[in-house]
Amino acid sequence: MKQFIVILLFVTVFYSCKNDSKTETANNTTETTDNIRQVTGNFIYYADAAVLQTKSELFGVIENEKMKELVEKSKAYKNEPTDE
């Protein structure tokens, strides 16, 4: 009886391993996340200096095309030339 169980177990293991599919799935997708941090605060720009001020931090802004685009967008929200 023990031999029958051992043989049955061996056949079952061998049969289940034989049916393994060797193909790999083509769904190997990798998700990349950009390390972009959204910050909310006051954007202050005078002459050639730009600063982004939050509740607890102060960031110096590099003067480039995006900064100039932000300056143009912020003009719509200003009531006076000295508004932040």
pLDDT of residue 49: 82
* 2-12: average pLDDT: 77
Residue-wise pLDDT for 32-79, tens only, equals 557 777 888 888 887 778 888 888 989 888 888 988 887 888 888 877
What is the rounded distance in angstroms from the CA atom of residue 54 to the CA atom of residue 77?
18
* Residue 44: strand, helix, or coil: strand
Residue whose entry in the numeric block shows the structure tokens 């972009």: 36
Q: The pTM is what?
A: 0.45
pLDDT of residue 72: 86
Residue-wise pLDDT for 16-31, tens only, equals 665 555 544 444 444 5
pLDDT of residue 28: 43
